[in-house]
Chains A and B, each alone.
Chain A
Amino acid sequence: MNRAWRCTCLLMFVGPFALVAQTPNSADMTETIKALLARIDRLEKRVADLEGTAAPAHVEAPAVTASIAQPTTPSPQPPPGSHDDHLAATEAAQGTPQSPLLKLSGFSDIDFSATDQHGTKSGFNEGQFTLHMASALAPKVTVFSEFTMTARTDAGTGSPPAAGFNAEVERIVIRYDQSDYFKVSFGRFHTPINWWNTAFHHGAWLQTTAARPEMVQFGGRFIPVHFVGGLIEGAVPAGGLHLNYNVAVGNGRGSIISRAGDAGDINNNRAWLVNLFVKPDRLFGLQAGASLYRDKIGVGSRNFDEWISSGHLVWAKENPEFIAEFANVNHTETGRLGSFNSQAYYVQFGYRLPEFGQRWKPYYRWEYIHIPSSDPVFIGVQDLAGSTLGMRYDISTFSAFKLEYRNQRRPGLPRINGIFAQTSFTF
């Protein structure tokens, strides 16, 4: 194991330098492009002067005027007529095609892991292969989708099943925008009761760390990661607080509580949630919020009321980056007294170093999960106290290497140490 991860570490750290060493001197190129752009601007200004359309250098800023000087494309002022006419004109002006135009982007990662956990093997494994699709059906109607292929040991055919890929429609959302204040969506979402869950989705390249916090792991049971239903969202200025809201109604957890009710609800009680967060104008980069989630779930023949309350505090810049989240999950069996409360939280720090082209970003995360052993809904979900210490290196604008050391402790089990490496990218 030691030899394997030493080789990987070597590859992870030497590789970037080797690639950087091959990069041509981009500073000269940049200066040349700058000079060319400046020349284009000077020529444009001269053309405009010759055509007599340019404003004098010290002119008062123009107020609203009726015409545009020599636009390169016809001015699509809204024509008089019905709202439909206006909408059609706007769509034409904004380049809405005759048929939906699909924008496709991909994300994936290749991972290596080596731990001292008894019974595990070190080695490489494919991360999720993710395709993200977006299509504007009209200026105010948009479809978003996320599709993944996940390598699993049991996803193939045969008996015992061979290894293969498990395909999943992670998200499919159609959204109607009325305005910034009011947007309505229907589909399969990542449940907006947690910051990480709606910030990073399945693209490992987008997140600083190699893996998600345990409380929001895909396939995990602590919070419902997916949600099938309808969502209303929007944002209001609120005196500079920039208050955002999400209100959703849906199927909630399925019969297997780590799954959403994709094929229908398991009962006649809809789950609902309210999520509020602010992004104050005065503290650019700060986001703070809280949410409440309610569902009725079934485990075997027993029914439980589930309340999830959570909060987050995020400093979204990278110098430094700070993310902290907390969630409490309350389960009460229907018709019985007494309830079970489980808590999970994590705190993550990161800092993009200003040196070396701002490519290096060290980070640390502490996470904690406590589950009462008597909670019948979370049987099998283990407590956790763990640390993750790592370094992210952005090899290019669209790809990164990450190397992590993780230390995890679970009750009654030996402490686990592990080295995890990942290269993640978008394409």
Chain B
Amino acid sequence: MQRLHARFAAALLAGAFLLLFPASRAATADGDIAVVVHPGVPVSALTFAEVRKLLFGDRQYWTPDLRVTLVMRAPVAREREIVLRTIYQMTEAQFRQYWISKVFRAEAAGGPRIVYSNDEATGLVGALPGSVSFMDFTQVPKGLKVLRVDGHLPGEPGYRLH
């Protein structure tokens, strides 16, 4: 009987521990979305507000000779959902309306380029000078440049894109 009580207490303690100290996702890059850019982009770190300006089309040039090209995953992709939720803070419909009105206001010639897989995103970001995209950090191939956001890389504590 005493053994049963001890087991029950241990299980209770373990449960309480798990509740108080959930498995920290900060220690791993699983689920983090990396901001990847063409290697020629002369920037290695951005603030979260600067990332937002890029995505909203408020910043359209890295330098006077290098235009920003946004590369976005098509709807339903996890990367797109995270970018819409954390950066745009918009629904899919609001996001589409935003870019239609942005072009209508003559503030941009077009919306982001749409890709249907991370492989396609990788190819485009590698090929287009000034391009920037978002992809699962575990799927970033060698050669692409990953930007720090607010001083953090994906997988580090404090990284916000997940």
Q: Which residues of A line the B interface, CB within 8 A?
A: 30, 33-34, 37-38, 40-41, 44-45, 47-48, 53-55, 57-58, 60-78, 83, 86-87, 90, 93-94, 103, 105, 107, 132, 134-136, 139-140, 142, 144, 146, 171, 173, 175, 177-180, 185, 198-201, 203, 206, 235, 240, 242, 279, 281-282, 284, 317-318, 358, 394, 397-398, 426
Q: Check A48 against B141 for contact (C-beta < 8 Å).
A: yes
Most chain-A CB neighbours within 10 Å: which of B44, B106, B110?
Answer: B106
Q: Check A134 against B93 for contact (C-beta < 8 Å).
A: no
**Nearest 3 Cβ contacts at the A-B interface:** A72-B123, A68-B126, A281-B49
Q: For the complex, count residues of B whose C-beta is within 8 A of A.
A: 65
Q: Check A61 against B153 for contact (C-beta < 8 Å).
A: yes
16 contacts between A and B (CB under 8 A): A30-B76, A38-B78, A40-B117, A44-B119, A62-B146, A70-B123, A70-B141, A74-B127, A76-B127, A76-B128, A77-B40, A103-B110, A136-B110, A200-B101, A240-B49, A281-B47
Contact with A along B91-106 (1 / 0, CB 8 A): 1111011001101111
Interface presence of B3 (CB below 8 A): no
> Across the interface, which residues of B come within 8 angstroms of A73, CB to CB?
123-124, 127
How far apart are the CA atoms of A70 and B66 in the complex, in Å? 23
Q: Check B59 against A180 for contact (C-beta < 8 Å).
A: yes
Give chain B nearest CB distance to A356 CB in angstroms. 13
Give chain A nearest CB distance to B129 CB in angstroms. 6
How far apart are the CA atoms of A146 and B106 in the complex, in Å? 10
- Interface residue from A58, A71, A206, A235 paired with B155 (Cβ < 8 Å): A58
Give chain A nearest CB distance to B155 CB in angstroms. 7
Interface presence of B61 (CB below 8 A): yes
Give chain B nearest CB distance to A228 CB in angstroms. 15
Residue of B nearest to A44 (CB): B119
> Across the interface, which residues of A come within 8 angstroms of B5, CB to CB?
none
- Asked if A72 meets B119 with Cβ closer than 8 Å, knowing A65-B39, A279-B58, A358-B91, the reply is yes
Give chain B nearest CB distance to A92 CB in angstroms. 11
- Asked if A62 meets B144 with Cβ closer than 8 Å, knowing A44-B119, A93-B129, the reply is yes
How far apart are the CA atoms of A196 and B160 in the complex, in Å? 33
Q: Check A68 against B39 for contact (C-beta < 8 Å).
A: yes
Q: Which residues of B line the A interface, CB within 8 A?
A: 28-29, 34, 39-40, 44, 47, 49, 52-53, 58-61, 63-67, 69, 76-78, 89, 91-94, 96-97, 100-101, 103-106, 109-110, 116-120, 122-124, 126-129, 136-146, 148, 153-155
Q: Check B93 against A206 for contact (C-beta < 8 Å).
A: no
- Interface residue from B60, B66, B145 paired with A65 (Cβ < 8 Å): B145
Give chain A nearest CB distance to B147 CB in angstroms. 9
Q: Check B104 against A105 for contact (C-beta < 8 Å).
A: yes
> Across the interface, which residues of A come within 8 angstroms of B89, CB to CB?
284, 317
Q: Check B126 against A75 for contact (C-beta < 8 Å).
A: yes
Q: How many A-B residue pairs have CB under 8 A?
A: 185
- Asked if A71 meets B40 with Cβ closer than 8 Å, knowing A54-B139, A86-B65, the reply is no
- Asked if A71 meets B126 with Cβ closer than 8 Å, knowing A78-B40, A105-B104, the reply is yes
- Interface residue from B76, B100, B126 paired with A206 (Cβ < 8 Å): B100
Q: Check B141 against A53 for contact (C-beta < 8 Å).
A: yes
Give chain A nearest CB distance to B139 CB in angstroms. 6
Residue of A nearest to B63 (CB): A179
Give chain A nearest CB distance to B48 CB in angstroms. 9
> Across the interface, which residues of A come within 8 angstroms of B138, CB to CB?
45, 57
- Asked if A64 meets B39 with Cβ closer than 8 Å, knowing A57-B29, A93-B129, A179-B61, the reply is yes
> Across the interface, which residues of A come within 8 angstroms of B154, CB to CB?
61
Q: Check A397 against B143 for contact (C-beta < 8 Å).
A: no
How far apart are the CA atoms of A134 and B96 in the complex, in Å? 17
Give chain B nearest CB distance to A84 CB in angstroms. 12
Give chain A nearest CB distance to B97 CB in angstroms. 7
Give chain A nearest CB distance to B151 CB in angstroms. 12
Give chain A nearest CB distance to B111 CB in angstroms. 10
Most chain-A CB neighbours within 10 Å: which of B39, B47, B103, B118?
Answer: B39
Q: What would 18 more interface pairs be, CB under 8 Å, given A48-B119, A426-B100?
A: A47-B119, A55-B141, A61-B140, A63-B145, A64-B39, A65-B39, A66-B39, A68-B143, A72-B124, A75-B126, A77-B40, A83-B65, A90-B129, A93-B128, A93-B129, A206-B97, A284-B89, A397-B96
Q: Check B143 against A65 for contact (C-beta < 8 Å).
A: yes
Give chain B nearest CB distance to A138 CB in angstroms. 10
> Across the interface, which residues of B come within 8 angstroms of A60, CB to CB?
153
> Across the interface, which residues of A come within 8 angstroms of B117, CB to CB?
37, 40-41, 44
How far apart are the CA atoms of A281 and B29 in the complex, in Å? 27
Give chain A nearest CB distance to B89 CB in angstroms. 7
How far apart are the CA atoms of A136 and B67 in the complex, in Å? 13
Q: Check B155 against A41 for contact (C-beta < 8 Å).
A: no
Residue of A nearest to B146 (CB): A61
- Interface residue from A69, A86, A173 paired with B141 (Cβ < 8 Å): A69
Give chain B nearest CB distance to A338 CB in angstroms. 39
